[in-house]
């Protein structure tokens, strides 16, 4: 079976539908992680207010730049800023994981219950932190590699052919920027999918990373994964850039207002972007598992098997796979039978009506078969 993957419009359409049906619940899953970050951000802003005011004064009166200079960032402020960034990324990972659990519950026809979602997330805290650590290490390595890519040719040109420096420097910087951008986009999609693998499939961090690499980082899938990451990154960048611009130009002297607006925007935007990545994850996982099921001897196709027409919920190939399972399930070991039924039902459940979504796996397949 080769089910067609969702295109970007299909992914966004499903994410919007999930978001619209349970906006308050998904927003609640993220706001509990945004409030602590906002409090830390407010403390940083208060500490940095004098330096920010001095910088704005220099922008308004550039003639003072030579005499006064740009205010330096103190080591304590730098440490507090780095700490707030690490806290923000860590809590963001927990929020994204909770949204993934909520999306999985919606696909099963269950409510996006705050306590149930975070019960799963808290139980998997060590694996989530491990994934955050891996992502940070990869990002730091990418920055170091990009710096080397930019520095080596520039230094070489300056030392041996200074006339080439105006040509070499922009090219080297562009290559370094491209490397960092590619790594960032790949990290967005792989980290999100790995987090969902931890909380939805119950994998440990290593297993989830391996499954994500096998599913996503392939020649066939990479383009769609990067396209999804580009769309998510563009929406996030635009939303937060608008808030940061307002903060710099209009709200620089009212840190409470800036932090409050920033927190509100993140509460609205973050769950939607997490849902986009969740829809992508469920789609690529379902197609990967369908391909794996077809290779299993229990569901191997027979030579004289009829060709099934598609229905409103299943393609012809998916119907054939469901038929084979229903016909052969009594001969399959109970644990394996439940696993296959869950995988097959996961494909169809998001497409059917709410009353059918509430059915158990095998009864749902019986209705569809």
How many distinct structural domains can be found in the chain? 2
CA distances from 335 to 66, 299, 329 (A): 75, 15, 11
Question: How many angstroms separate the CA atoms of 45 and 252, rounded?
Answer: 9
Cβ-Cβ contacts under 8 Å for 17 (sequence gap 6 or more): none
Same domain (yes/no): 218, 326: no
Same domain (yes/no): 330, 274: no
Same domain (yes/no): 184, 105: yes
- 2 in any annotated domain: no
Same domain (yes/no): 315, 268: no
Same domain (yes/no): 220, 318: no
Same domain (yes/no): 216, 304: no
CA distances from 20 to 14, 255, 273 (A): 10, 31, 13
Query: Domain ends where: 283, 305, 322?
Result: 283
Q: What angle do CA 142, 145, 146 make, to 5 degrees?
A: 85
Q: Which domain holds residue 267?
A: 8-283
- 1 in any annotated domain: no
Question: How many angstroms separate the CA atoms of 363 and 207, rounded?
Answer: 31
Same domain (yes/no): 18, 89: yes
pTM of the full structure: 0.72
- 27 in any annotated domain: yes
Same domain (yes/no): 307, 360: yes
Same domain (yes/no): 209, 324: no
Query: Domain ends where: 231, 249, 283?
Result: 283
- 22 in any annotated domain: yes
- 291 in any annotated domain: no
Could you tell me if residue 18 is left (phi over 0), alpha (psi between -120 and 50 degrees) or otherwise beta? alpha
- Total residues belonging to the chain: 369
- 289 in any annotated domain: no
CB distance 337 to 326 below 8 Å: no
Same domain (yes/no): 33, 110: yes
Query: Domain ends where: 256, 283, 310?
Result: 283
Same domain (yes/no): 279, 305: no
Tens digits of pLDDT across the chain (369 residues): 445 678 889 999 999 999 999 999 999 999 999 988 888 877 776 666 555 555 555 455 555 555 555 555 556 666 666 777 888 889 999 999 999 999 988 887 888 999 999 999 999 999 999 999 999 999 888 888 888 877 777 777 767 766 777 777 787 778 888 888 888 899 999 999 999 999 988 888 998 998 899 889 888 888 899 999 999 999 998 988 887 777 666 555 677 777 888 889 999 999 999 999 999 999 888 777 666 555 555 677 777 778 888 888 888 888 888 888 888 888 776 777 887 888 788 778 878 888 888 888 888 888 887
- 3 in any annotated domain: no
């Amino acid at each position: 079976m080769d089910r067609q993957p969702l295109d970007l419009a299909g992914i966004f359409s499903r994410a919007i539908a999930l978001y619209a049906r349970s906006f308050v619940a998904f927003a609640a899953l993220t706001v509990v992680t945004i409030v602590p970050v906002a409090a830390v951000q407010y403390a940083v802003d208060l500490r940095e207010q004098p330096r920010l005011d001095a910088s704005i004064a220099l922008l308004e009166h550039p003639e003072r730049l030579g005499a006064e200079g740009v205010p330096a960032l103190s080591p304590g402020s730098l440490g507090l800023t780095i700490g707030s960034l690490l806290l923000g990324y860590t809590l963001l990972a927990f929020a994204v994981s909770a949204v993934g659990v909520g999306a999985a519950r919606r696909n099963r026809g269950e409510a996006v219950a705050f306590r149930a979602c975070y019960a799963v997330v808290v139980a998997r805290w060590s694996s989530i932190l491990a994934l955050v650590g891996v992502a940070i290490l990869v990002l730091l390595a990418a920055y170091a590699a990009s710096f080397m890519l930019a520095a080596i040719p520039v230094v070489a040109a300056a030392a041996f052919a200074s006339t080439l420096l105006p040509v070499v420097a922009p090219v080297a910087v562009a290559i370094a920027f491209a490397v960092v951008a590619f790594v960032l986009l790949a990290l967005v999609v792989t980290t999100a999918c790995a987090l969902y693998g931890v909380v939805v499939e119950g994998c440990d961090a290593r297993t989830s990373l391996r499954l994500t690499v096998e599913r996503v980082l392939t020649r066939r899938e990479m383009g769609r994964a990067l396209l999804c990451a580009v769309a998510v990154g563009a929406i996030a960048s635009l939303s937060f850039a608008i808030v940061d611009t307002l903060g710099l130009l209009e709200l620089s002297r009212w840190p409470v207002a800036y932090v409050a607006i920033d927190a509100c925007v993140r509460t609205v935007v973050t769950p939607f972007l997490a849902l986009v990545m969740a829809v992508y994850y469920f789609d690529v996982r379902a197609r990967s598992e369908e391909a794996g099921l077809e290779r299993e001897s229990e569901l191997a196709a027979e030579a004289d098997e009829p060709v099934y027409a598609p229905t409103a919920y299943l393609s012809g190939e998916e119907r054939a796979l469901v038929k084979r399972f229903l016909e052969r399930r009594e001969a399959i070991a109970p644990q394996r039978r439940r696993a296959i039924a869950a995988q097959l039902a996961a494909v169809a459940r998001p497409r059917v009506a709410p009353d059918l979504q509430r059915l158990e796996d095998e009864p749902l397949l019986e209705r569809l078969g």
